[in-house]
A and B are shown apart, each in its own frame.
Chain A
Amino acid sequence: MAERFQLFFKHFAEYGGYKNILLGLRNTLVIAVCGLIIGIVIGTLIACVQLAGKRNKAAKVFSVAGEVYTAIFRGTPIIVQLLIFHYIIFSGTGINSLLEAVIVFGLNSGAYVAEIMRGGIASVDAGQLEAGRTLGLSYTTSMIKIVFPQAIKNVIPTLGNELIALTKDTSVAGYVATMDLNAAFTAIAGATYDFMVPYIMLALVYLVLVAAMTVLIKLTERRLKKSDKK
């Protein structure tokens, strides 16, 4: 047993395995965080368009487009999306594989975030919007000043969930030659012909990563909950 650990640490320290792992850690975080940011932008856009589609016939077209988008990206596995983008859409463009992964994860996350945002807006009592309207504020102003701030508060825990799910999903980015955490540890496993230690270590690294994110999400939530107590 001890020899297996020694072998792992030898590859980790002496043969430069740590470089790959640090790079993988960076890439994993970059893909997850940037993916979520792109996802939030796309998701918010889709949710807003769907809201507009209810009131405006012209916006209905975009609203349907948003639904189709959600159906496609939620309906297919992320690995398939990665492969399609890698071998078909981006093939021959020579695009950086990290950027490619960020784009695909962002597009995928957008579909989920759109539903989260829609739910968040729906969770705000309709009376809040009505009260804004009867004070003579326009629909848009009431939404921006009254409904969205409350929706964001309701959405934070679910968005945190999305970030965690995304972090773990990045383990498939290795399929398109991105050096993520999974790929870094697999490289060591392949070099040492020992799979137990590297993969248990990999699991621990993900666990610590997710635990840290959970703490961050809790802190954010507590800050935003201010107006519920006080």
Chain B
Amino acid sequence: MTKNKKHKFIKTQVTPVEPYDPSAMLEAQNLIKKFGDLNVLNGINEKIYAGEKIAIIGPSGSGKSTFLRCLNVLEDPTDGYVFFNGNNLCDLAVDINIQRRKMGMVYQQFNLFNNMTVLKNITLAPVHIGLSDLKKIKFKNAGARFLNLFRKNKKPLIPVEKTAKQIKAEAEENAMRLLKRIGLEDKANVYPSTLSGGQRQRIAIVRALAMNPEVMLFDEPTSALDPEMVGEVLNLIKELADDGMTMVIVTHEMSFAREVATRVLFMDEGKILEEGAPENIFNSPQNPRLKEFLSKVL
């Protein structure tokens, strides 16, 4: 948590802050989300540890996507807290933009920027953030240099590690490396509208990876794809999982969840009804609602 600032919260928070678990990467405490009168999330408590691959399954309207979107505060929770590496994301004193850089998110609808080429899509955020940080450092240094004129003990300047050119070149190099990894380096200079769904989704994943995130959130990454293209996207996600990336995946692909997940959450009516290892969830479900759900989808 940031220093001793007076804490302002997004909404009036009723629950007292329990101590967060320092070993957990992401922690949701009593998460409640209402859209008007509709209760979408009814008090979710969940801890996600580094290296875990969580699959969230459940019927439509069960609050899976909303839960995922609450994890990076794309939806402001009505009540409850989200902690990420010990930072309370619901606290307005925490700079959410800095926290979000470490949480990649992939959408059902890809959401590639239509007005930019593939390469620009990937490099936009790293370059912009790099340049604005550089500007801040230069501004601070200029101030320090001026004040040093009157100081006896000169304050050291913040070292400038990279020039603007280097930041851009590095981001582009990184983007090309990632594109090569998914075999789309020849598409670097085309606009997203000319690509297939599978290609777009893989580029969306790569765009999130370019920020070197600590956790990846997938919101039904294959639901908007042709059946033919589902495989290529799932393979890429699988590769990431094998590399040890922490991920939370909302999915309807049960076989994929069984294969990749280390833990499966079953949600219905805004609650986590059952969770456990994929073998337990799929082979010996306990909750009657889960049994009913699995009998329909498997």
Contacts and interface: CB of A to CB of B under 8 A. Distances in A.
Contacts of A134: 72, 74, 100, 103-105, 208
Contacts of B111: 125, 127-128, 130-131
A137 B125 contact: yes
A13 B107 CA distance: 68
Given A130-B107, A230-B191, 16 more contacts: A127-B109, A128-B111, A128-B113, A128-B114, A131-B204, A134-B208, A136-B98, A137-B97, A145-B124, A145-B128, A150-B114, A153-B115, A227-B114, A227-B115, A229-B193, A230-B190
B74 A146 contact: no
A136 B125 contact: yes
A36 to B, nearest CB: 24
A130 B97 contact: no
Contacts of A230: 190-191, 194
Interface residues of B, number: 30
Contacts of A131: 105, 107, 111-113, 204
Contacts of A161: none
Chief secondary structure at chain A's binding surface: helix
B207 interface: yes
Contacts of A118: none
A138 B98 CA distance: 9
Nearest to A137: B125
A1 interface: no
Contacts of A150: 114-115
Interface in B94-141: 97-101, 103-105, 107, 109, 111-116, 124-125, 128-129
12 contacts: A127-B111, A131-B107, A133-B100, A134-B72, A136-B129, A137-B97, A137-B124, A137-B125, A137-B129, A150-B115, A153-B115, A229-B194
Interface string B206-220: 011001000000000
A135 interface: yes
Interface of A: 125, 127-128, 130-138, 141, 145-146, 149-150, 153, 227-230
Chain B CB within 10 Å, residue with most, of A128, A136, A146: A136
Nearest to A226: B191
A137 B113 contact: no
B100 A135 contact: yes
A79 to B, nearest CB: 40
Interface of B: 72, 74, 97-101, 103-105, 107, 109, 111-116, 124-125, 128-129, 190-191, 193-194, 204, 207-208, 211
A135 B104 CA distance: 7
A84 B269 CA distance: 61
Contacts of B107: 127, 130-131
Chain B CB within 10 Å, residue with most, of A134, A146, A153, A229: A134
A146 B97 contact: no
B137 to A, nearest CB: 18
Given A134-B105, A227-B191, A146 B115 contact: yes
Contact of A133 (B74, B104, B115, B116): B74
A146 B211 CA distance: 18
Given A128-B114, A149-B115, A135 B193 contact: no
A135 B121 CA distance: 11
A116 B103 CA distance: 36
A72 to B, nearest CB: 34
Contacts of B190: 230
Contacts of B104: 134
